[in-house]
Amino acid sequence: METANYAYWSTQTSIGNGFQMIFNQSGYMYLIARNRSILNQVFSNKVSTEDFYQRAIVDYDGFFRQYIYSKSLGSSAGNWPMAWSVLSSVPSNICLSIKGDTGSGACGFNSYCSLGGDQRKMCQCPPGYTFFDPEDVMKGCKQNFVPQSCDKASEEMNLLEFSEMINTDWPLSDYELYEAVSEDWCRQVCLTDCFCAVAVFRNGDCWKKRDPLSNGMFDPSIGGKALIKIRKDNSTISANSGSCEKKDSTLIHILSTLLGSSIFLNFLFLLATFIFLYRLNRKKPEKLQSETVMPAINLRSFTYNELEKITEKFKQELCSGAFGTVYKGILSFDSNEYVAVKRLDKRAREGEQELKAEVSAIGRTNHKNLVRLLGFCNEGQHRLLVYEYMSNGSLANYLFGNSRAEWRIRIQIAFGTARGLFYLHEECNTQIIHCDIKPQNILLDDSLTARISDFGLAKLLKTDQTQTTTAIRGTKGYVAPEWFKNLPITVKVDVYSFGILLLELVCCRKNFEVDAEEDQMILSDYAYDCFREGNLDLLVEKDEEAMNDMKRVKKFVMIAIWYIQEDPSLRPTMKKVAQMMEGAVEVSPPPDPTPFISSK
């Protein structure tokens, strides 16, 4: 964003008086002097910190916001949703705050800023204008019509008209002011002036504004109306025709001259060079929509050189998958702050899609059972994602390693994964279907806490959307049956995958083992057979800890069988799942997950 380097919001305290900004445990934020007196109260607490977590960040759109998150599902949460919700923000309207003699304002040149229903900044183009780059709205807008010719300003007046926008202005873009005039007079004086792109009429005053327009803003407090000068319907073609004919005749004259000389060869060489560079430039990957896919987060944009340095030129490989390879890196040697850098395969077209999917999905989240995304790189052909480092690797390595994982840790991992999925499905502002829950995508931190990762296949649902249709996603053995039946896809596909994962955690073995006896090869089938015949001890016969906790083993196996029901409507939601696992809801005996009539 091109804008002047000045403060667009301040505490309005004198220079030298402010000593420290305090954000205390009660949720108050204020500026104090050296004598500890309060100079300015930035945020005043409105909720109890016993019931809510609180945080304050400078968001991507320039607002400084205070967020709260309910600590429980109980009545103490009141009407607050189970998600991070905005409690306070400064400035109250950033569209009105950012403006200067130079610079584009809160949005790009020729665009205007307004606040949406959620009080977040929106950048839009006025009538007759379109974004230079819809993927990066901060580049501003351009006219989608031929501007008025200064040579034929009076002749083209009948080809132009005004589109009205109330409560809209581009402050400091004006070059002339007329006082005590009528709206018709204001229209006419702009119409006859080829430099006038917009006229603003308010309370008898008329401002003429030239292109490019800066500091665009819409707000009911502005008043008046903006008159945007545009061409009438179908006049663009007629206005172009004369100039195109002139250009064509000029081009023919130039070419006829060049053909008779050696200059023509140089011309062809330059033309070929231009075409090559143009095509090369078009192959560059699109930029991320930072204004739309990263709300309420602060993701760092790394350069490729930075990530090469962090990873020592991608020296230590942690793992690899379908979309790329993950490397270990270090942000700071002083603090031993390690990171995991996922380098997406530049040969796969899906790499660009996965980059956007991961940033869109995990970039919006904030939960202790999800891996935190720290930043990204989208430079040339390089697409990389930077995560916090998980020292204990994946659940697959822990669960299927040489030594048996502890029963209590497996229970802890099951609870953590369930809570993470519950958050994605029901507590996020945007509902997220992960689509690829499996042991390889559950990472373990220093305390062996489960952290869901790898959102490259995730599907985001709109606020009013509960299902979607999409191509098959996921990993064989964990994919729900509805993927293969052209049925609508809901959060229940994650419930199915978690059911398989839960059985693997209980039995400490893979869902499919080719070396096992024939009736035991597929774990889900074998587990149901053991449950039906009352032989659940066979599932954990070599696990002394689990054998001493058969009541919980039985409950978890019953819950898992409910999760993997072929009919998605029979599977409980992740909220019900968490309640069943924690004992808040009784678990009834499940039916056969794949009944004979269905398999036929």
- The model carries a pTM of 0.51
Label residue 169 by pLDDT band (50, 70, 90): very high
The CATH architecture assigned to 396-599 reads Orthogonal Bundle (1.10)
Q: Tell me: the pLDDT tens digits for 305-343?
A: 999 999 999 999 988 766 678 999 998 765 678 999 988
Indicate whether 520 pLDDT > 80: yes
- Domain map (residue ranges) of the chain: 20-92, 112-234, 300-388, 396-599
Q: Nearest Cα to 370, choosing from 420, 405, 324?
A: 420
3 state DSSP class of 38: strand
Q: What Rg do the C-alpha atoms of the chain give, in angstroms?
A: 31
E strands, 475-570, in order: none
Residue of 185 and 237 predicted with greater confidence? 185
What's residue 507's pLDDT? 94
Residue of 579 and 526 predicted with greater confidence? 526
H helix or E strand, kind and range, residue 421: helix 407-422
40-44, 92-96, 369-373: which range is least confident on average? 40-44
Residue of 70 and 356 predicted with greater confidence? 70
What's residue 472's pLDDT? 43
The CATH architecture assigned to 300-388 reads 2-Layer Sandwich (3.30)
Q: Nearest Cα to 287, choosing from 202, 346, 357, 356?
A: 356
What's residue 246's pLDDT? 41
Q: How far apart are CA 118 and CA 67, in angstroms?
A: 13
Half-sphere exposure of residue 589, counting CA atoms within 13 Å on the CB side? Answer: 7
DSSP string, 180-237: S--HHHHHHHHHT-TT-SEEEEETTEEEEEPSSP-S-EE-TTT-SEEEEEEEPTTHHH
Q: How far apart are CA 141 and CA 86, in angstroms?
A: 30
Rounded mean pLDDT of 107-122? Answer: 83
Q: Tell me: the pLDDT tens digits for 388-399?
A: 999 999 999 999
- Its sign, for the CA torsion 25, 30, 34, 35, is negative
* Cis peptide bond N-terminal to 147, omega within 30: no
What's residue 458's pLDDT? 53
Indicate whether 224 pLDDT > 70: yes
Rounded mean pLDDT of 114-122? Answer: 78
Active-site residue identified among 59, 61, 193, 436: 436
If you average pLDDT over each of 46-50, 91-95, 452-456, 561-565, which comes out highest?
561-565
Indicate whether 555 pLDDT > 90: yes
E strands, 77-173, in order: 85-90, 112-115, 121-124, 129-131, 141-143, 160-166, 168-169
Q: Nearest Cα to 417, choosing from 386, 444, 390?
A: 444
Q: Nearest Cα to 160, choosing from 265, 209, 232?
A: 232
Q: Nearest Cα to 414, choosing from 577, 536, 529, 570?
A: 577
Determine whether 515 is an active site residue: no
In the chain, % of residues over pLDDT 90: 32
